[in-house]
Structure formats: C-alpha cells, structure tokens
Amino acid sequence: MIKKYRRLIQIIVFVGMFIIPLLNILEITFIKGTFYSIDIGDVAMADPFAIFQAFLVSRGISFGMVVSVVIPILIMLILGRVWCSWMCPYYLITEFIEYLRKKLRLKLNRPKYHKTLPDKTNFVRFIFLIIGTIVAGISGIPLLNLISAPGVISSQALVLIKFHYITFEIFFILLLLILEFFYFRFWCRFFCPQGAFLSIFRVKNGLRVEKMVDNCSNCLSCIRSCPMILNPMEDGLNPLCNNCGDCVDACPDNKKIETLKFRM
C-alpha cells in the first residue's frame, strides 16, 4: 500500500526535526537547519517560497539563493507536490486529527464533492497567495513565511531541543489545529502559501494519478478518499493534487486490473 510507505517517510521526517538539532548539540553538523532552509553536507536546500519572499523583501537575489531551490523545484517538476503529503509535519498532524475524529465517532465535516469545488478552492488559495505576496512586497516583511506551518513547526522543534523553550509562534499552529476539528483540511486546501506556490510547478509530464481504463465500477471510492476533495479520475493534474496516493489505495478495481495508478 502506498499509504504505508508514505506514513513511514512522514514519521522519519517528523522525528528528524527533533534529531537534527540534537545532533547539532553534539557537534554533529553534517545536517542542520529547519524546513525554511536545510544543509546536508555541502548541499543547501531551501523552501522555494521562502526564497521568493526573501527576494521580494530584499529586492535582490544571490547565486546561493538560486542554487538552494534547484533540488526542491526539480522534485516538484518530476514528482509533483509530494512535499505536502509525504513530508510536511503539519499534514501528518492533520491526518492524525482525522484519525482521532473517526475513533471518537465525530463528524468529519467533509464537504461533498462537486465539479466546481476544485476551481473554487484553487481560486481562494491563489487569491490568498497573491494578496499575501503583494503585501509582503509593499511592506518589506515576508509575512507569508511567518505563517509557514512546516517552517514554524520545525523551527519550534529546534528551539525546544536546543534552548528548552518555545515561542509564541506555536500558538498559531495550535489555533490552526483547533480549527481543523471544525473545518476539514481548511489550511492545506485553502490557505497554505507553500502548497499553493509549489503547485505552480506542476507539469503535464510529471508524476500524476491517471485513470487507465475507460470504464470502471464507478464506486466513487477514490473521490471519498481524496483529502483535497478532487475526482482523481479526472483531476490528476489539478494543482490541488498532492500525489498522496490515497485514491490509488482506495480503488477496489485495482485488485482486478490497473484502473487508477500513478503515471508519468
């Protein structure tokens, strides 16, 4: 199952947020940083959106800044928005909240799918991204970096391990998680600036979910399993899709013949 491997990677990344600063305390600095920017040996990688915000604020860009986004952008071009569903710590936490809701038999408040919903969702998220970017450019403050859920979570993990305290930024994450109990995946679907920005790099020849046969049982299991409320049979290239693979796992027809699968 795809989800089994995805969950393993999510947990490794999540635990890694705490292990990296611990290693740094022990003066092991081969790997260091947060999800804003991380160095592995001589290889520097940074959140492309964080670099874009830095460019807007400073009105300039260095060679090092450009190089740091090469690997993340290549990953997005080839594999799509896998950062969101396979590595983002906030996404993992929201999946855990959904699991808790099911265990507690609480209503998921999951919106029903209809064909116009993805367009409406994309409209809201890109308008939020555009407005936030304009405000950052005018104010000279990288405002959207300040509400980067994975960036905040990883930086809080670093501060907690190295300095034994947390900052007020953690309350922003707690507020989001409280709202997640009432509004299904609202942050990832409508507001996450990193997710919206990374989806710009989605290309036709990259990894995507695709329906392989003309006819299927039309059970709609794929739609019901999609955390972004898409129709995987038609929306594999939609900017909302983060290639989580839940729809592929959920498709019962795949047991008989390849019906829904990842394809490049």
169-204 pLDDT, tens digit each: 999 999 999 999 889 999 999 999 999 999 999 898
Q: Which residues have C-beta within 8 Å of that of residue 255, sequence separation ≥ 6? A: none
pLDDT number for residue 79: 95
Q: What is the pTM of this model?
A: 0.94
pLDDT band at 147 (very low <50, low <70, confident <90, very high): very high
> Quick one: tokens of 60?
């300039």
- How high does pLDDT run on average in the chain? 93
Give the mean model confidence (pLDDT) for residues 207-222: 92
pLDDT number for residue 64: 87
pLDDT number for residue 106: 81
Tens of pLDDT, residue by residue over 101-116, are 888 888 878 999 999 9
Tens of pLDDT, residue by residue over 237-250, are 999 999 999 999 99
pLDDT number for residue 15: 98
Integer distance in angstroms from the first to the last C-alpha of the chain?
19
Asked if 48 and 69 count as a contact pair (C-beta separation under 8 A), the reply is yes
Separation of alpha carbons 262 and 264, rounded Å: 7
Q: Give percent of the chain above pLDDT 90.
A: 82
Asked if 148 and 166 count as a contact pair (C-beta separation under 8 A), the reply is no
**Residue 62 Cα distances to 67, 76, 131, 215, angstroms:** 9, 22, 25, 52
Give the mean model confidence (pLDDT) for residues 60-67: 87
